[in-house]
Structure formats: structure tokens, C-alpha cells
A = this chain, B = another copy of it.
Amino acid sequence: MQLTVYLAGQIHDDWRQNLKDKALEKNLPVTFVGPMENHDRSDNIGEEILGKQPDNIIRDEAASQMNNLRTRVLMNQSDIVIALFGEKYKQWNSAMDAGAALATDKPLILVRPASLHHPLKELSEKAQVTVETADQALEALAYIFDEK
């Protein structure tokens, strides 16, 4: 049994790589997928494919199409979604992805610092599991495969 896990959330630090490294150490049969982590490319992907756009609004729209294509295809392939929220960003995309995971009955693991407990209480109540660190999310994943 091989599971696919979508890693939603901020793309500004290396939490995804840490998670992947630890999953490798533990030999978990898990494939991780997620959004484009190169922020500049993610903002520029519309023009990269379609050429120079007339203004920033249309440039953004073109980029959104490509990013949403990626997210939809990879989310469709996933068995579990992990969404990480931090204090710094608005992360509306992460909340939207979390909402989509919930609505399509994909188990959601919410990762957020204790300080964000209150504003995320409804999302947390809907998530299957809520933890405070990405390492704890990995342990929850590992538990699925444990026999003892």
C-alpha cells in the first residue's frame, strides 16, 4: 500500500523537505506532492507559457490557471492532505485547499502553532487530526502503517 499526500501551506521555508527526509528515514511508503515552491516561478508561470500579458491583473490570472491546474490534478491523486498554517501569511489558498479536502472527504491533518488556536478553531474542529508541528504530522502518518 502506497499513499500519496498533498502538502498544502506556505512555501517560504523548508518544512516540506524536512518532512520528506524524515519519511525517507522511516521508510514510509508515501509519495509527497504539493504546490510549486519556487515563488517567483509560481507568480510568473502564466507569462512563461503564454508570453507577455497586457497588465498585472491578466498576468496573475494566467498564473492562477496554471497553479490551479497543478493543485487540482495533484489533489485528485492524493489520499491525505496536510495543511500547515503559520503566523506570517494570510494563506487563503491553504484554507481553500483544506476546505476542498474536507468537502471531498480526504482526511485532513492540520498543522498550526498553538498561538493560532483561536482563529483556526473551526477548521481544526473539521480536520481529522490537529497537531502543532510538521514532525507530529509525520508521526500521525507513520501510525497508519504501524502494526504494533
Q: Which residues of A contact B (CB under 8 A)?
A: 1, 3-4, 31, 33, 36-38, 41, 45, 48-50, 54-55, 57-58, 60-61, 63-74, 76-77, 79-80, 85, 90-93, 95-105, 107, 109, 117-126, 128-132, 136, 139-140, 143-144, 146-148
Residue numbers in B under 8 Å from A79 (CB-CB): 73, 76-77
Contacting pair A144 B97 (CB below 8 A): no
Contacting pair A124 B65 (CB below 8 A): no
Residue numbers in B under 8 Å from A77 (CB-CB): 1, 79
Contact of A120 among B38, B92, B122, B144 (CB under 8 A): B92
Contact of A95 among B45, B99, B104, B130 (CB under 8 A): B99
Contacting pair B103 A69 (CB below 8 A): no
Known: A57-B117, A125-B61. A66 touches B98 (CB 8 A): no
Distance to closest chain B CB from A130 (angstroms): 7
Residue numbers in B under 8 Å from A74 (CB-CB): 144
